[in-house]
Amino acid sequence: MPGESATLRGRRILVVEDDYLLAQILSDFLEDAEVNVIGPVGSVDEALAMVETAPESFDGAILDVNLHGSKSYPVADALAARSIPFLFATGYSRNALDERYRDHPRCEKPFDQVTLLSMFGRLFNNDAA
């Protein structure tokens, strides 16, 4: 994990999660890796507003798929349109995701810190390649 931590150090990650406890766990995991956490935000509208008005304020995002009964795909679309890397944090299987995002990186809940940081490390390493 040392390589992933170095890749993430100082990055600004938007956390989009509607469950307070999971948002706190995600934030703690990221902060332990010296990531600057933006948010967390818990709704599609709030996340979209951030992406549309201040996309330069973060380097990447982690999205819960289901936010209070609404899917986060509009947020994913807005991030993709701006070439901002993101991954999904979800309990949904790959096949339950919208077809456009079935091959997109996702960290299955429940997740652990090592898996999450490793996935983000690969996401940013691929972005830099």
pLDDT, tens digit, 9 for 90 and up, residues 46-75: 999 999 998 889 999 999 999 999 999 999
- E strands, 2-93, are 12-16, 36-41, 60-64, 66-67, 70-71, 86-90
Confidence (pLDDT) at 129: 43
Which parts of the chain sit beneath pLDDT 50?
1-2, 128-129
Q: 């795909």: which residue's tokens? A: 73
Q: And the tokens for 42?
A: 């818990």
- pTM for this predicted structure: 0.89
Cα separation, 81 vs 77, in Å, equals 6
Cα separation, 36 vs 31, in Å, equals 6
Q: Where are the domains of the chain?
A: 2-116
Confidence (pLDDT) at 113: 86
Instruction: Tell me what percent of the chain is helix, strand and coil, each rounded to the nearest 5.
Output: 50, 20, 30
Domain 2-116: give its CATH architecture: 3-Layer(aba) Sandwich (3.40)
Confidence (pLDDT) at 1: 46
